[in-house]
Amino acid sequence: MDEHSETRPAPPSPPDVPGPDPAAAAPGTAPLAEPRTRAGRRSLFGGLTSYVRQLGRDVVSVTLGKLVEPAAKPEPSDEAASVATEQQALSDSGYKRVRVLHDMAEKLRGAADNYIAVKLDEIEARVDAKLDHVEERIDHKIVELHEQLRQMRDRELRHRLRLLKITLVFTVLVALLSLGYKWLKGVWFT
Amino acid sequence: MFTELDPFTVFRSTLFLFLAIYAVLTVWSGAWRVRRVLAGTDPSKRLLRTYLAYQVVTVRLRPLAGELLQIGFWSALLVVIWWLHTKV
């Protein structure tokens, strides 16, 4: 689990200036530097993670844009200084609310990243267990086939040796016949 | 000249000749077939050769001891009978 957590990308740090993130406002323009150490299995989950992060950024940017929009409206220039001060106070309170919301959004984003990382680790562990199980079955089948081949080899050797023995027996019989014939010929024709 | 030939000797020599030719041809064709199957540089052939070498090396003679003892007995008997041919 530790080695997987090392390869996870760190959650993005909050920006210094509150407000909508220009990179997040344009979907697809913020590249995620995902380390693809395990391109095979991580590619699917990495794409899913990127999609969820981008979705979160879009939601946060839209929310912040709506909150900032009233404060960014131009004020008429002929207002009095008190009105300007009041507007400044309103603007400051708006920025405070935006900062609080931004901090909360960042915390939620970090929690979501952690949750996704934990889930990815769980899925990876399950996939690893499944692969180990498949490898164990393949190894077991290889051992079984090897044992069958060994038994077939022994049976074939025993069969060949039996054939050789039968050939030798008949050769000995013919040799005995030849010996008897030679002996009889020597006895009768001398 | 042919009247001096022993028919049994002719039969024995002919049988030996045919069986010897048959044995040589059988062993040669089998060896050639095995060589053709095992020849090659691709990994599957190498693996096959390695596995066959492993199978040859790991043959245990203890399960085949009975057959080997009988073959040894019949071979010794054949040698003795052959030797007796020179004494009769």
Q: Span A123-143, mean pLDDT?
A: 97
Lowest mean pLDDT among A33-37, A165-169, B47-51: A33-37
Residues A183, B10: Cα–Cα separation, whole Å = 17
At A112 the pLDDT is 94
Share of chain B above pLDDT 70, in %: 95
Instruction: Determine the 3-state secondary structure of A37 from DSSP.
Output: coil
β strands within A40-186, DSSP E: none
Instruction: Determine the 3-state secondary structure of A53 from DSSP.
Output: helix
Question: How far A176 CA sits from the closest chain B CA (Å)?
Answer: 7
Instruction: Determine the 3-state secondary structure of A31 from DSSP.
Output: coil
At A114 the pLDDT is 95
Put simply, the answer to whether B58 touches A150 (Cβ < 8 Å) is yes
At A55 the pLDDT is 81
β strands within chain B, DSSP E: none
**How many residues appear in chain B?**
88
User: Which DSSP symbol is given to A73?
Assistant: S
pLDDT > 90? residue A94: no
At B79 the pLDDT is 96
Residues A186, A120: Cα–Cα separation, whole Å = 98
**At which residue do the structure tokens 């959650």 appear?**
A11
Put simply, the answer to whether A178 touches B67 (Cβ < 8 Å) is no
pLDDT > 90? residue B88: no
Question: How far A13 CA sits from the closest chain B CA (Å)?
Answer: 53
ipTM, 2 decimals? 0.81
Lowest mean pLDDT among A63-67, A117-121, B31-35: A63-67
How many Cα atoms are found within 13 Å in the side-chain-facing hemisphere of B29?
A: 6
Q: Read off the pLDDT of residues A14-42 as tens digits, 9 standing for 90 and up.
A: 444 444 444 444 444 444 444 445 555 55
Higher pLDDT pick, A94 / A165: A165
At A80 the pLDDT is 74
Which candidate, A87, A7, A104, places its Cα nearest to that of A46? A7
Handedness of CA A117, A120, A126, A128 (dihedral sign): negative
Interface test with A, best of B5, B26, B52, B70 (most A CBs within 10 A): B70
Q: Read off the pLDDT of residues A62-92 as tens digits, 9 standing for 90 and up.
A: 777 655 555 555 555 666 778 888 888 888 8
Chain A residue numbers touching B85 (CB-CB < 8 A): 175, 178-179, 182
Question: How far B27 CA sits from the closest chain A CA (Å)?
Answer: 13
Report yes or no: A145 at the B interface, CB cutoff 8 Å: no
Interface test with B, best of A151, A179, A184 (most B CBs within 10 A): A179
Neighbours of B4 (CB within 10 A): 5
Higher pLDDT pick, A75 / A111: A111
Chain A residue at shortest CA distance from B16: A171
Q: Span B35-53, mean pLDDT?
A: 93
Put simply, the answer to whether A150 touches B55 (Cβ < 8 Å) is yes
Share of chain A above pLDDT 70, in %: 67
Q: Span A78-107, mean pLDDT?
A: 85
At A30 the pLDDT is 42
At A155 the pLDDT is 93
Residues B75, A165: Cα–Cα separation, whole Å = 9
Question: How far B22 CA sits from the closest chain A CA (Å)?
Answer: 14
CB A68 within 8 A of CB A20: yes
Chain B residue at shortest CA distance from A168: B74
pLDDT > 50? residue A12: no
Report domain extents, chain A.
11-69, 70-188
Q: Span A102-113, mean pLDDT?
A: 94
Residues A131, A4: Cα–Cα separation, whole Å = 17
Question: How far B87 CA sits from the closest chain A CA (Å)?
Answer: 10
A121-127 long-range contacts, Cβ below 8 Å, gap at least 24?
Answer: A121/A1, A121/A4, A121/A5, A123/A45, A124/A4, A124/A41, A125/A1, A127/A41
Residues A119, A1: Cα–Cα separation, whole Å = 11
Report yes or no: A152 at the B interface, CB cutoff 8 Å: no
At B69 the pLDDT is 96
Put simply, the answer to whether A158 touches B78 (Cβ < 8 Å) is no
This prediction has a pTM of 0.54
